[in-house]
Amino acid sequence: MKVAALFAAFAVSANAFAPTSSFTNSVSLSAAPRSASALQMNAAERTYIMIKPDGVQRGIVGNIISRFETKGYKLVAMKTKQASQELLDTHYCDLVEKPFFPKLRDYMMSGPVCCMVWEGKEAVVTGRKMLGATNPLASEPGTIRGDFCIEVGRNICHGSDSVENANKEIALWFEESELVDWESHSKDWIYE
């Protein structure tokens, strides 16, 4: 008898904290409605993330995608592409004159890359933190480079370093029609 009474008391107290839906008077699975200003405060920023040929060849594309999805970012576009010399010269225009660039370009042309656009609050800065330092040995454990690579010349991924460069890189690697504008059902569980 005491067990049944304890169970009943537990059920009543648990229901007291559960939100209800006016439609069914049952527990609601959606978060409270948000104001327009709250939605604007979390205005989406986009970043360009590219998995380089070593990441594609090693079969860790899914692991990297999972990190961004788990964090709460929204995938806006993704494709595999065989980069051309012209495309890489444009993408790495600030490095073209460096003595190491021909080797970098050859490496980037050695296999397909996985091009992605991710969207969310502070996506550029946070995306770079998630990737880790350019030198994988200086990357913290838990970052993508800290967990998956060792050599600078095989650092498996690229991430935009500013919003301005993200916009340029997205326009370079994607047609506007390839960017999908959609609303995630999880946004209310990710953003306040």
Which amino acid is residue 117, in one-letter code? V
Q: What is the pLDDT of residues 37-84, one digit of tens each?
A: 334 435 689 999 999 999 999 999 999 999 999 999 999 999 999 999
The number of angstroms, rounded, from the C-alpha of 182 to the middle of its chain's C-alpha atoms is 15
Helix (H, G, I), strand (E, B) or coil at 116: strand
Q: Pick from 107, 119, 120, 126: which is nearest to 55 by CA? A: 107
Specify the 3-state DSSP secondary structure of 61: helix
pLDDT at residue 44, rounded to an integer: 86
Residue 3's pLDDT band, with cuts at 50, 70 and 90, is very low
Q: Of all residues in the chain, what percent are helix, strand and coil, respectively (each to 5)?
A: 45, 15, 35
Residue 6 pLDDT exceeds 90: no
Least confident of 11-20, 93-102, 137-146, 167-176: 11-20
Alpha-carbon gap, residue 108 to 23, rounded angstroms: 55
- Mean pLDDT score across all residues of the chain: 85
For 75, residues 6+ apart whose C-beta sits below 8 A from its C-beta are 65, 68, 69, 116, 117, 118, 119
DSSP 118-185: EEETTHHHHHHHHH--SSGGGSPBTBHHHHH---GGG--EEE-SSHHHHHHHHHHHS-GGG------T
What's CA 89's distance to the chain center, in Å? 25
Query: Can you give the pLDDT at residue 2?
Result: 52
Which residues does the annotation mark as catalytic?
158
Both structure tokens of 144:
């993508």
